[in-house]
Amino acid sequence: MKNKYAAKASCILLALFFGQVNANALDIVRVDPPNWWVGMHSKTVQLSIYAKDISSYQISSSEDKVTIVRTDKTENKNYLFVTLAIDPALSTETVFLNFKKLGASTVRYPYTIAKRTAGSSARKGFDNSDLIYLITPDRFANGDPSNDHIAAMGDRLDRSAEFSRHGGDLKGIVQNLGYLKSLGVTQLWLNPVLENKQPNSSYHGYAITDHYQVDPRYGDNALYKQLATQAKLHGIGLIIDLIPNHIGHKHWWMKDLPSDDWINFNNTFSATNHMRESIQDPYAVEADKQQFTDGWFVATMPDLNQRNPLLANYLIQNAIWWIETAQLSGIRIDTWSYSDKQFLSQWSDRILAEYPQLNMVGEEWSTTPSIIAYWQKGASNSDNYVSNLPSLFDFPLQASIAPALKEEESWNSGLIKLYKAVASDSIYPNANALTIFADNHDMSRLMTQVDGDADLNKMALTLIATLRGTPQIFYGAEIAMQHPGTESHGAIRADFPGGWADDEVNAFTGKNLNIDQSQTLDYVRKLFNWRKSASAIHQGQMRHLAPMDGIYCFTRFNSEERWLICLNKNKDAVTLPHAQLVPLVNSGKIAKHFLSQETQLLTQGLTLKARSADVYRIQ
């Protein structure tokens, strides 16, 4: 795989070889995507070619099995968009593109079209049998101190500052894959690792400045591929975090925009109104809808206009390129609903055409189930909008968990909130396909949400492991990381203890963990490793009893097994009578605890420990 500098150098060297360099020689700065593959579902690829006055050149192909089907020019003469048709019978990897204009020498540019990895289109995406582990790479582990300070990148390392770089990188993740496997992790979601050449606060990754390069403070493209390969050897897939909605204001495009309509609001900051409801509101005026989708988050994040078909193609191909390059198992899509909704249908449709079994989860931060449901594949929408997105994050469920556990029980507080969230599942086209979580990088950590109560924290983790959907946990949840007294995102995304050589506490080895941390770590390991083989938890049916007196019980079952999960918020042990449990256990006689293997005879009732969440195999 050639990076932009290597490609440019190759072009110049080839021109020298053919004796064609002169004062008017074409200097191709970059071609995106930097390479492609033969054997894709779509037989065409759109190249974005950037060079001074490139639009005045004619282009041809040296290979008869690679033909130029169209060229598109914009107001900016420094861009040329060229669509190639690739014959599946193409056998050579290097195709030369010839650039010619009157009075200038022909330039031959080598472009790689490689053979696709066998079985690539049939890759299996993440599903409900998985545990997704979310990492903010800058804050997890510093495996390569040599990339901590890169002068050209601007934003410097300072571990004492919450919003500066702290030095975590891809090598640190590679080095700790064994630890992740021990937790029962089967999928890794990394906050974006692509180049964020922003002047400050770039550590979060959501202000991309180059769609085709890993940020050098994390490593490079080769190391990202190595991470994916090594993770696979540990039984772990890699999920990429993509942002089709916006870029960083230091993106290389911003110095010379490809077209006048590349950025919304004529490249002038106009804030989004965040009114996601307007997209589904039958009474909304168009101005409100436009301000939501076209408005910028902040002045440093220009909002992309995906109605421009050249930009839409660029973003779609970029997603496909990373999936194919790094052999990824899924995509997490940032700020899903803020992009143009017709583009979103096209984006997901074309990706799934290449990878029919891939999974993608969108971030639509709303606690209203109908708003989440609108965007899921299979939704019957009143405006006839068709979505192709398989999964969304279940924010309504997330918002119910901490209040359900912390609040006093009443007709409208406490566990009833969790019950109502689950009872709303009929609103979704496929509630089982949702991705469930208790916290993430943008909100208070779970342990802080429950006011540092280790018992409530354990209950929440048990819910995430046993309710329908695909579970996701945030790095550090396994050691009950918390940030009392602050809601700063820099504190929420704190350094993982043990990720730096001089850390006094080391979660990877267990060194100096306190009792809550040690016990939580032990429980998470047991819980999610048990979950791997619990088929009824993955895809089984569910039944639950309405909560009563601080107790909530539900069952997950299929033809092979039945699990009973019970939460007891009370300060004392409670024995549930057999008659109350019959709707959940049917004819089951014995409840065997999933960890201790201790059994209880259900005809004598089921005794729940105080302030507990326990799982039982019903036999």
Supply the residues annotated as catalytic.
Answer: 334, 363
Find tokens 């593959």 and name the residue.
37
Q: What is the 3-state secondary structure (H, E, C) of 176-237?
A: CHHHHHHCCCCEEEECCCEECCCCCCCCCCCCCCEEEEECCCCCCHHHHHHHHHHHHHCCCE
Sequential DSSP letters for 330-380: EEEETTGGGS-HHHHHHHHHHHHHH-TT-EEEE----S-HHHHHHTBTT--
> For residue 360, which of 328, 315, 382 has the smallest C-alpha distance?
328
Which H or E run contains 576? Answer: strand 574-576
41 half-sphere exposure, CB direction, 13 A CA radius: 15
Rounded to whole angstroms, how far apart are CA atoms 362 and 435?
9
> For residue 239, which of 203, 206, 194, 192 has the smallest C-alpha distance?
192
Rounded to whole angstroms, how far apart are CA atoms 175 and 550?
43
Q: How far apart are the first and last CA of the chain?
A: 55
> For residue 294, which of 321, 264, 252, 319 has the smallest C-alpha distance?
264
263 half-sphere exposure, CB direction, 13 A CA radius: 23
Query: Within 10 A of 589 (CB to CB), how many other CB atoms are there?
Result: 12
CB 374 within 8 A of CB 515: no
The CA–CA distances, whole Å, from 601 to 352, 566, 575, 582, 618 equal 49, 16, 12, 13, 10
CB 435 within 8 A of CB 391: yes
Structure tokens belonging to residue 573: 């042990």
